[in-house]
Amino acid sequence: MKSATIPSIRVEPAFRQQAESVLREDETLSSFVETAMSEAIDRRRMQSEFIARGIASRDEAARTGVYHAAADVHKDIVERLARSRKAKGK
């Protein structure tokens, strides 16, 4: 499959200099931009999935009438985390 190009964008010279100043050894501005876009795509996908799960959970709670207090959920999470840390410490 042929590769495609991303449209070029105009930026202020200072902004370009900032981007170039953080490049790692052997990293190009193009590879930096590609990595940044890839991470942004992944982050947006995860956000969309998180929102979808939240909406589904809300709908399920409305359907069943079963709700959980935030304090109870937080307590459960803290207990699970403590158990996990204790198990890893062994």
Domain hosting residue 43, numbered range: 13-21+28-89
Note whether residue 69 is domain-resident. Answer: yes
Output the pLDDT for position 90. Answer: 65
Quick check: 73 and 81 in contact, CB under 8 A?
no
Does 7 reside within a domain?
no
Whether 6 is covered by a domain: the verdict is no
SS3 63: helix
In this prediction, residue 89 carries a pLDDT of 85
Q: What percent of the chain clears pLDDT 90, i.e. is strictly above it?
A: 93
Rounded mean pLDDT, 55-76: 97
Q: Looking at residue 1, what is its pLDDT?
A: 77
Token pair listed for 80: 């699970």
Q: How many domains does the chain have?
A: 1
Is 1 part of any domain?
A: no
Tokens of 22: 């953080």
Indicate the DSSP class of residue 69.
Answer: -
Q: Is the pTM of this model over 0.75?
A: no
Whether 2 is in a domain gets the answer no
Mean pLDDT on 72-81: 97
pLDDT tens-digit map of 22-49: 999 999 999 999 999 999 999 999 999 9
